[in-house]
């Protein structure tokens, strides 16, 4: 972590071909005074177009992060921004004479070393800090992505990823301190699989790719015809053996280079919040789109300091229940993998109250348990892959106690804690309150199953 704002002492330049556009560009980094921020200056059409490096100016996230204003765009900014953020630089002009920074070797190492060689100037003004005071949570079930940020005295990133190619298909890495960036992250190169190459090339991407600008991991059953097709498409002359892990047998810098590069990308994307984040980021399978969407939530939640909430429509995106048996009204807070808070207001419209002590309706105890079980899905479903294809089934009520009756027009406050999750079965403890009074508690098991079984 850094205390004071920074810029560079001297100008430094980089040049080369952009990964996706294939455009040759020169980038000049220039010192800026305190409070300036990071500003791109696109020198094009006889103009100097200024674009602040902010999540508010992100216009595309397809295989990279693109900043834009009006009709002008700068593609694939994340590697350069990652190095800038890792060095604690807050104030900088980035002049670029084309639409994409050079990809160089596909990592941020050359950017990092070049900036370091230019020298770092420290100001006496303190950095803007974004201090995470309570957990903030993000879920994109369509893409099987879960992200959270927790209070932490520092900046820490835990990233979990999985791939359908390579020898090391499930990877996790923890960056404990941004000051370890050079040794642990900077050299990790961008990557894709062999089977993705044709799609990317024919969809107007990776126009500037070469064997020196990233890693290509081999899929299974690669034939000579497929190799010849790629050689023709990219004007290469590579050979292949079944023992090669990567195209042309390029050697890895780290055994888990993919997940380390995902952290590199995340840092570049998160730099767009324009402040030093004080918190622990936990990411499961995120990419540029989800990084930016989560960053928007962090910016909003860290300013408002509100609990993260799911309304009823958002609840429907996570669990399959629908009216009249979608019972919980709102998720009011989540500590990922630990605790969820929810509420339910009982009204005369609740069908299960008809005939249950008609003159003085009482909420059935099993309904309270069902409310707990529905809320618990927000903890257990996030621990499995392909959550969009899964659902939770209540399999056992180990013990329960109903302390006082719950009536119409009372608001049930639920707190569900995850005790253990093993072999797709979760053990929960739940407490139900009216105001501050405990009205019921229970321990129960729920199991993750396929929706269509």
Summarize pLDDT for 322-340 with one digit per residue, the tens.
988 899 999 988 876 788 9
Summarize pLDDT for 25-61 with one digit per residue, the tens.
999 999 999 999 999 999 998 999 999 999 999 999 9
Tell which wins on pLDDT, 53 or 135: 53
Averaged pLDDT for residues 126-143: 89
Establish whether 288 is a catalytic residue: yes
- 382 has a pLDDT exceeding 60: no
List the catalytic residue out of 20, 261, 280, 288.
Answer: 288
Separation CA 172–CA 160 (nearest Å): 4
Query: Strands 170-175 and 155-162: what pairing?
Result: antiparallel
Cα atoms in the 13 Å half-sphere on the side-chain side of 10: 7
- 383 has a pLDDT exceeding 70: no
- 123 has a pLDDT exceeding 50: yes
Is the pTM higher than 0.85? The answer reads no
User: Which of 108-122, 210-224, 362-376 reaches the highest mean pLDDT?
Assistant: 108-122
Task: Name the β-bridge partners of 97.
Answer: none
Which pLDDT score, from 0 to 100, does residue 203 have? Answer: 86
Which pLDDT score, from 0 to 100, does residue 387 have? Answer: 61
Residue 381: pLDDT band (50, 70, 90) is low
Which of 67-71, 94-98, 352-356 bottoms out in mean pLDDT, i.e. has the lowest? 352-356
Which pLDDT score, from 0 to 100, does residue 306 have? Answer: 43
Rounded to 5 degrees, φ, ψ at 216 are -120, 115
Q: How many helices (H) and strands (E) does the chain have?
A: 9, 24
Which pLDDT score, from 0 to 100, does residue 353 have? Answer: 82
Buried b (16+ CB within 10 A) or exposed e, 262-290: bbbbbbbbbbbbbbbbbbbbbbbbbbbbb
- 112 has a pLDDT exceeding 50: yes
Asked whether 246 and 217 are in contact (CB, 8 A), the reply is yes
Asked whether 284 and 136 are in contact (CB, 8 A), the reply is no
Separation CA 100–CA 18 (nearest Å): 5
Q: How many residues in total does the chain contain?
A: 453
Summarize pLDDT for 293-315 with one digit per residue, the tens.
999 999 988 764 445 578 888 88
Residue 371: pLDDT band (50, 70, 90) is very high
Which pLDDT score, from 0 to 100, does residue 305 have? Answer: 42
**4-123 and 312-450 share one CATH topology?**
no
Establish whether 356 is a catalytic residue: yes
- 159 has a pLDDT exceeding 90: yes
CATH topology of domain 4-123: Ribosomal Protein S5; domain 2 (3.30.230)
Calculate the CA 185 to chain-centre distance. 17
Cα atoms in the 13 Å half-sphere on the side-chain side of 298: 31
Separation CA 337–CA 343 (nearest Å): 19
- Domain positions in the chain are 4-123, 136-304, 312-450
Q: How many other C-beta atoms are found inside a 10 Å radius of the C-beta of residue 199?
A: 11
Asked whether 189 and 276 are in contact (CB, 8 A), the reply is no
Q: How many other C-beta atoms are found inside a 10 Å radius of the C-beta of residue 21?
A: 20
Which pLDDT score, from 0 to 100, does residue 141 have? Answer: 84
Q: Which residue has the tokens 């990411």?
A: 283
Q: Which long-range contacts (CB under 8 A, 24 or more apart) does 170-177 make?
A: 171/256, 171/258, 171/259, 172/256, 172/259, 173/256, 173/259, 173/260, 173/263, 175/263, 177/1
Separation CA 365–CA 361 (nearest Å): 12
Query: Strands 92-96 and 38-44: what pairing?
Result: parallel
Asked whether 392 and 321 are in contact (CB, 8 A), the reply is no
Which pLDDT score, from 0 to 100, does residue 388 have? Answer: 65
CATH number for region 136-304: 3.30.1700.10
Rounded to 5 degrees, φ, ψ at 444 are -150, 160
Q: Give percent above pLDDT 70 in the chain.
A: 96
DSSP assignment string, 322-367: -TTS----EEEEEETTTEEEEEEE--TT-GGGTTSSTTS-B--HHH
CATH number for region 312-450: 3.10.129.10
CB-based contacts of 453, cutoff 8 Å, min separation 6: none
Which pLDDT score, from 0 to 100, does residue 251 have? Answer: 94
Tell which wins on pLDDT, 334 or 179: 179
- Both tokens of residue 349? 């419209």
């Amino acid at each position: 972590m850094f205390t004071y704002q920074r810029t560079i002492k001297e100008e430094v330049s980089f040049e080369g071909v952009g990964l996706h556009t294939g455009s040759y560009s020169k980038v000049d980094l220039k010192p800026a005074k305190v409070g300036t921020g990071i500003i791109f200056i696109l020198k094009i059409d006889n103009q100097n177009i200024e674009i602040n490096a902010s999540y508010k100016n992100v216009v595309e996230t397809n295989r990279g992060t693109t900043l834009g204003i009006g009709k002008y765009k700068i593609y694939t900014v994340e590697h350069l921004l990652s190095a800038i953020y890792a060095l604690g630089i807050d104030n900088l002009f980035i002049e670029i004479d084309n639409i994409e920074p050079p990809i160089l070797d596909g990592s941020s190492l050359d950017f990092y070393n070049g900036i370091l060689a230019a020298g770092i100037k420290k100001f006496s003004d303190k950095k803007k800090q974004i201090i995470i005071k309570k957990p903030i949570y993000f879920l994109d079930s369509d893409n099987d992505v879960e992200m959270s940020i927790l209070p932490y005295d520092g900046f820490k990133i835990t990233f979990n990823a999985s791939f359908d190619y390579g020898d090391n298909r499930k990877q996790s890495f923890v960056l404990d301190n941004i000051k370890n960036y050079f040794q642990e992250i900077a050299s990790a190169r961008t990557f894709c699989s062999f089977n993705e190459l044709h799609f990317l090339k024919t969809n107007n991407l990776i126009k500037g790719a070469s064997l020196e600008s990233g890693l290509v991991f081999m899929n299974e059953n690669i034939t000579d015809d497929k190799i010849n097709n790629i050689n023709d498409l990219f004007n290469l002359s590579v050979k292949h053996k079944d023992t090669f892990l990567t195209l042309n047998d390029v050697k890895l810098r780290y055994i888990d280079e993919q997940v380390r590069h995902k952290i590199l990308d995340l840092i570049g994307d998160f730099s767009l919040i324009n402040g030093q984040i004080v918190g622990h980021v936990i990411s499961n399978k995120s990419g540029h789109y989800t990084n930016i969407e989560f960053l928007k939530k962090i910016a909003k939640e860290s300013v408002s300091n509100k609990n993260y909430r799911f309304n009823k429509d958002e609840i429907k995106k996570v669990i399959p229940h629908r009216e009249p048996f979608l019972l919980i009204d709102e998720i009011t807070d989540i500590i990922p993998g630990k605790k969820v808070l929810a509420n339910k207001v009982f009204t005369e419209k609740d069908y299960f109250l008809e005939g249950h002590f008609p003159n003085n309706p009482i909420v059935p105890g099993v309904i309270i348990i069902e409310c707990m079980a529905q809320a618990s899905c927000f903890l257990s479903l996030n621990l499995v892959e392909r959550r969009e294809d899964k659902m939770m089934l209540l399999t056992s009520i180990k013990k329960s106690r109903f302390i006082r009756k719950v009536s119409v027009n009372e608001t049930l406050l639920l707190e569900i804690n995850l005790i253990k999750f093993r072999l797709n079965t979760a053990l929960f403890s739940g407490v139900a309150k009216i105001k501050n009074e405990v009205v019921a508690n229970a321990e129960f098991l729920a199991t993750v199953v396929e929706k269509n079984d």
